[in-house]
Amino acid sequence: MIIKIDRRLSKNFDWITFGLIICLSLIGVITIYSATRPPAGVSGHPDFYSKQIIWLAISIVTLFAIVFFDYKWLFRYAYPLYAIGIFLLIVVLIAGRSGMGAKRWLSIGFFSFQPSEFFRILFVIGFSAYLSGGAHDFREKMSARSVVLFALLPLALLVKQPDLGTAILMVALFIVLSVSKGVSKKVISVVLIIGLVSVPFLGHIVWEGLKDYQKNRLVAFMDPDVDPSGIGYHINQSKISIGSGGILGKGYLKGTQGPLRFLPEKHTDFIFAVYAEETGFAGSFILLCIYLLLFLRGLDTAYRAKDEFGRLMAVGITAMFFVYFCVNIGMTLSLMPVVGVPLPFVSYGGTALLSNFIAAGILINIRTRRFELFYPS
């Protein structure tokens, strides 16, 4: 039996989603170039932008490879993939590389990566498979096994690193996917009551378990002026960058916060501040519109998915992009505490870019295969 590929695979490829993420990625490259350029009169430009271009090329190839295979294969291997993700989170706690008070990186030869970046995708795949494949009583009761395996266990491993940004994302994805599947009002009421009652106790436990730099970030979020040259420096410099852009911005390569080293993490966590300084409100509005189109496209993909597994994965991936977007923009505007969350497709980072393209590839795969594409002959 020979398997032929239907021409509709290329004809119905989701070029809109692909175009949106390419547009965001190119904005990221040019902003990284500007953010990391040296001050006037200083030679030697860091190669962050060139590395990002290489990762972008690798990510594009990976995306097309993922679109080629039917996403039904993910359902078959969802649990083994999820188990691999949990295993990597455990390994990074034991043999991971420490940096900036956290142990998040694994090194394999010359290649280093953050397992948490890929785990978020494996989480969406695993939990979507669970909800669509055997949780028939999920509307009436919250399975203790599902809560432990898909909420408490990964949350504990991520907090231990600590990686609060991904931990927040996991909680959000668990809630979004659970609600998307359908949870009875009784379950929602019980969970809310338990959550409200336990907030004071859990808050104390979490606070005691935080590193000093994480406590400082929370203090700076509550009052950025408490130590403007110390723990509140990041947030204050970010707001200065965004505010100084005005309506039309200072112009490309004319921003000062990046090259003069006023703004820390300018090409990663705070890249939006650099972009807003140079393009102003107008450029920021355009960027936000591109993200809005991406989110709406993701929801439309979920609506058009041919099965429950595809629908839940599309919802989860779209929610993942949306949460990271909100948290990152919120950080730069002092609307949320600094938790080290990159701006999807824009911030510097090969692991993050590759994982986002893998997620986008799954999203495109779901939309492309909203009908059967393969047939025997």
252-267 mean pLDDT: 78
What's the structural domain count of the chain? 1
Q: Is the peptide bond before 224 cis (omega within 30 degrees of 0)?
A: no
Q: According to the model, what pLDDT value does residue 74 have?
A: 93
Enter the tokens of residue 274: 């650099």
The pTM of the full predicted model, rounded to 2 decimals, is 0.85
The residue that leads in pLDDT, 336 or 285, is 285
Q: At residue 228, does pLDDT exceed 70?
A: no
The residue range of the domain holding 287 is 3-38+46-376
pLDDT at 215 (0 to 100): 55
Distance, in Å, from the CA atom of 287 to the CA atom of 274, rounded to the nearest integer, reads 13
Dihedral (Cα; 227, 231, 233, 236), 10-degree rounding: -70
Residue 146 gets the label, from left (phi > 0), alpha (psi -120 to 50) or beta, of alpha
Residue 202: pLDDT above 60? no
pLDDT higher than threshold 70 for residue 22: yes
Of the given ranges (100-109, 318-327, 339-348), which has the lowest mean pLDDT? 100-109
Whether the predicted pLDDT of 377 surpasses 80: no
Beta-bridged to residue 374, according to DSSP, are 5
